[in-house]
Every structure is written in C-alpha cells, then in structure tokens.
Amino acid sequence: MTAPPLPTVDALLARARALGLDRLDARLLVAHVLGRPAAWPLAHGDEPVGTEAAARVEHLVGRRAAGEPLAYLVGARAFHGLVLQVDPRVLVPRPETEGLVDWALECLAARGPGAPARVVDLGTGSGAVALAIRQARPDVLVTAVDTSADALTCARENAARLGLEVDFVLGSWWSGAGAGPFDLVVSNPPYIAEGDPHLAALAHEPIQALTSGPQGLDAIAEIVAGAPARLAPGGWLLLEHGHEQAGPVTDLMRAAGLDSIATRDDLAGLARLTGARRRP
C-alpha cells in the first residue's frame, strides 16, 4: 500500500489560513517548527514536510487559532532590540511598551553627572523594560520588582541568557523596591478594569498582570502615592496605562505633588504613557 504524499509547506500554510491565521503567523509557526528563518517558507512552498513536523505545525496552528499568543507558541518575543523568552508565566511584551523605555532613556540622558542613576521597574514581568534599560545604559543600577515568583524566574532567565545584571526582587510594588531614593521609576502595571469585555481576548495571559480594581487604577494609584517619598529630587516616574486613563493618572500625579506632568501617545496615536517629576 502506497503511503499518502507528505504535505508541502504551502499546504500547511493554506490549512492555517483556513483556520483564520494571518499569513505572517502561519509562516512563523511553520518556520519555527522546521528550524528555519522566518522568510524561508516564502521560497520553499513545494518543500515536503515530514509527518511528525506537520503534526507539530498543525497542533500549534490549532492553539493559535484558539487565541494563544504567538510568542508563547514560539517561546520568544523581540523587544527593543532584545529577544526575550516568554511563556504563560508573564505577559507578552507589546511594541507600545518600547515607548516607555525610550522615554526612560531620555530622562537618563538628561540627568547631569554624578553617582550612577538608580532605576526601579515595578511589575517587571518578563524583565522587558528593566533589561532594555540596562542594555542601553550599562552604567545605571536597575532593580526590578514583581509580586509573582514565576514571573521573576522568567525575568532572571532572560537576564542570565542576555548577560545583563539586574537586581530582581519579589514583592508588591513599593514593598519590594525599598526606600530608594530612585532617579527613575518605570512601570507597566495592570490597568484593565475588572470585568472589561476585552479580557476575553487575553484569556491566555496571567490575569493578575492585567486587571487592577473596578476602574483599572488600583495599582497605578498605589504606585503614584508612594512615588514622592522614593523619588530623588528631580527624579521621574513614568507609567504605561490604558488609552482612556491619561486624565485620571494625571489627576493622581498632581494630587501627589508631582511636577512636569506630561502624556505621550503610543504608535497608534493613543495617549498611553504619562510621566511626572519630583521637584528638584
């Protein structure tokens, strides 16, 4: 009895598309399973794929069609020039958060000469923000805090693989950060309101890193309230938040006595970052 022909790369891509995957996701999954560069499937559509590899592709395609993030399926995500290992212990780093790193680096560049700057990343997750800052500014001292031991394990693994020195601390916001003073505080905290209908699309990611109270502002309020006592004179607090939260976040910063409050848009033109400074 003749064995059925092996599926080709193009056939696997077509099956993925039929399940609703976009072309790029389908191509990346095929390339990942076959251990090939991302562009390889484009030029090798007629290449036959072995039975075991084809089954692995179809398994991952099914998971992606069910909403699981691509980064979890391939185990990695590019962020600000770094390749981070990610899995369901942590949120998938988003391109929008690169703007938080860019702003942080601007603040550090504007700082005058003196002792090495002290930076703390509250709610570090995969370590994306802390590691990107450390990569760009090896002269600064970076502490990264998270309430999840699993997330910190992931972040430490990324730091070790990348050869970047960051002090990772288990704790809840300021209780893990210590007294400071810090020249820069950055955070991409949970900011989605509990019960928000958009959470269904994020079901595969850790809920504790997504939601924070009925308005999504509980973590942000705690961070802002504690910032004046921990910031060095002239130090900055930079936060990522929801696109409708710039006003409430600004109000919280003003009420805390912070100065030079400013909001920046993300890549889509939405107000997603707000920063403030302790008066020098």
Query: Is the per-residue pLDDT at 4 higher than 80?
Result: no
Which tokens is 107 given?
């603040």
99 and 37: one domain?
no
- Long-range CB pairs of 218-221 (<8 Å, 24+ gap) are 219/123, 219/173, 219/189, 219/190, 219/191, 220/189, 220/191, 220/245, 220/249, 220/252, 221/252
58 and 115: one domain?
no
The answer as to whether 97 is a domain residue is yes
56 and 93: one domain?
no
Measured CA to CA, the distance from residue 238 to residue 110 in angstroms comes to 15
172 and 46: one domain?
no
Whole-model pTM: value is 0.93
220 and 110: one domain?
yes
Query: Is the per-residue pLDDT at 169 higher than 60?
Result: yes
DSSP 146: E
Whether the CB-CB separation of 133 and 101 falls below 8 Å is answered with yes
59 and 104: one domain?
no
Whether the CB-CB separation of 37 and 172 falls below 8 Å is answered with no
Which residues are bridge partners to 211 per DSSP?
A: 192
- Average pLDDT score over the chain: 95
The answer as to whether 158 is a domain residue is yes
The answer as to whether 156 is a domain residue is yes
The answer as to whether 2 is a domain residue is no
104-150 residue pLDDT tens? 999 999 987 778 999 999 999 999 999 999 999 999 999 999 999 99
85-102 residue pLDDT tens? 999 999 999 999 999 999
Query: Is the per-residue pLDDT at 3 higher than 70?
Result: no
**Segments forming the whole domain that contains residue 233:** 87-277
93 and 19: one domain?
no
Whether the CB-CB separation of 64 and 29 falls below 8 Å is answered with yes
Measured CA to CA, the distance from residue 61 to residue 125 in angstroms comes to 26
The answer as to whether 143 is a domain residue is yes
201 and 168: one domain?
yes
44 and 95: one domain?
no
Calculate helix-pair angle for 149-162, 128-136, nearest 10 degrees.
30
134 and 262: one domain?
yes
Q: What are the phi and psi torsion angles at 276 (to 5°)?
A: -150, 165
261-270 residue pLDDT tens? 999 999 899 9
| CA nearest to 164, candidates 194, 192, 206, 126 | 126
CATH code (residue 205)? 3.40.50.150
> How many domains would you assign to the chain?
2
The answer as to whether 99 is a domain residue is yes
257 and 127: one domain?
yes
Say which residue, 6 or 28, is predicted with more confidence: 28
254 and 162: one domain?
yes
The answer as to whether 148 is a domain residue is yes
The answer as to whether 149 is a domain residue is yes
